[in-house]
Amino acid sequence: MTPKSLKQDALHYHEEPTPGKIATHVTKPTATQYDLSLAYTPGVAEPVRRIAANPDSAYRYTAKGNLVAVITDGSAVLGLGNVGALASKPVMEGKAVLFKTFAGIDVYDIEVCTQDPDEFVNTVANIACGFGGINLEDISAPRCFEIERRLSEKLDIPVFHDDQHGTAIIVAAGLLNALEIQGKTLEQAHITCAGAGAAGIASMNLLVALGADLDNITMVDSSGVIQSERTDLNIYKRAFARETEKRTLDDAMEAADVFIGVSGPDIVSTKMLASMADHPIVFALSNPDPEILPELAFKTRQDLIMATGRSDFPNQVNNVLGFPYIFRGALDARASHINIDMHIAAVHALKDLAKEPVPQKVLDAYGLESLEFGKDYIIPKPFDPRLIDTVPAAVKAAAIASDEIHKN
């Protein structure tokens, strides 16, 4: 398949036979006049009265409990940047496809034509009552941190920015397994992260919550190492500012046990890779072109474990392993928020699942004869049918244990 043919196939896929990728469908019978009198007037008045008297009844009489809004302002779409709300719609529809396919969750995609945080927050807050959860998508940093925080404080339904936490959860699950294989621990690992936007900041925050030593984390942005002498740092980057003589990515890679890249293509040289500690771990997650290609990395050294964001290499860090199942668990628990305990539960569920025997269905889906826990398999495959039974149950249990559920 050539890049040109892929582009043409993608355009045809989105246009034919019906434009777009999603549609609504009716869940109740509509074959008779009486059916319609129940679906709409006069019958519909009765659930209206029940919900007016007790808003919690919306979960009994409407689709609210299985409905998520995927909402964006179009400011950070894929690797395309700030393309605007309307141009982001194919991505939001794609997210809806993944929610429905993998977790049976219904979605309305909503593209908000403002990039003012106050206007965006107010818009989402004013429409949120009809949804069971809010998935924020493709919103640029650092505004995304403020937007998620404010909405989480305002609303009593789960708010989840997948570009932050979805990525962080999959990274953490894969990294814990990779560290185990390499004979290292998270508590002692020296971690370099290239990219200090939504995914980078959230990933490091989650790793710290899991036990990583903040003093062992070196973050690098487009201006170099995030260190204490810099005066251009926002509050989210400042939390990772270290007193260090390191100033460049080259410096930060030396003796590092782990490299996590959520930045851009081809920024890691073979020299940098060679300078890492023995048995290193490299997560080169820039898409579609990673920070260093696996074939080049393995030519440089054979003792590494590598993951990318691509499906054509082993160990794909793919957010579809997370967000559908995290929301499934949160919705099933009637959670009011998705908290750190639920994030950690998802991490461990994914981590542990990778150690279990792989079903034949997964092998068939990927054209493999065998697959087992090891350097080329540190995280489950997206088409693993066990995910829907494993991750939501863990997230739901964590929600209940942390008292993050509606009591009505």
Known catalytic residues are 40, 95
Beta 281-284 vs 258-261: how paired, if at all?
parallel
Displacement of CA 87 from its chain's centroid (Å): 21
Interatomic CA distance for residues 269 and 261, integer angstroms: 13
Interatomic CA distance for residues 236 and 151, integer angstroms: 18
What number of residues does the chain have?
408
Interatomic CA distance for residues 169 and 152, integer angstroms: 19
Residue 376 has which token pair? 């080329």
CB-based contacts of 4, cutoff 8 Å, min separation 6: none
Q: Which residue has the tokens 């990318």?
A: 308
Closest CA to 406 of 198, 158, 211: 158
Interatomic CA distance for residues 262 and 284, integer angstroms: 7
Instruction: Phi first, then psi: give them for residue 191, nearest 5 degrees.
Output: -115, 130
Interatomic CA distance for residues 341 and 346, integer angstroms: 9
Residue 220 has which token pair? 């690098």
Crossing angle for the helix pair 143-154 and 198-210, nearest 10 degrees? 60
Residue 393 has which token pair? 């149950």
Instruction: Phi first, then psi: give them for residue 109, nearest 5 degrees.
Output: -90, 135
| CA distances for 91 relative to 95, 97, 169, 325, angstroms | 6, 10, 21, 19
Helical (H) or strand (E) element with 357: none
Cα 55-126-166 angle, rounded to 5 deg: 95
Closest CA to 192 of 130, 115, 251: 251
Beta-carbon count within 10 A of 289 CB: 15
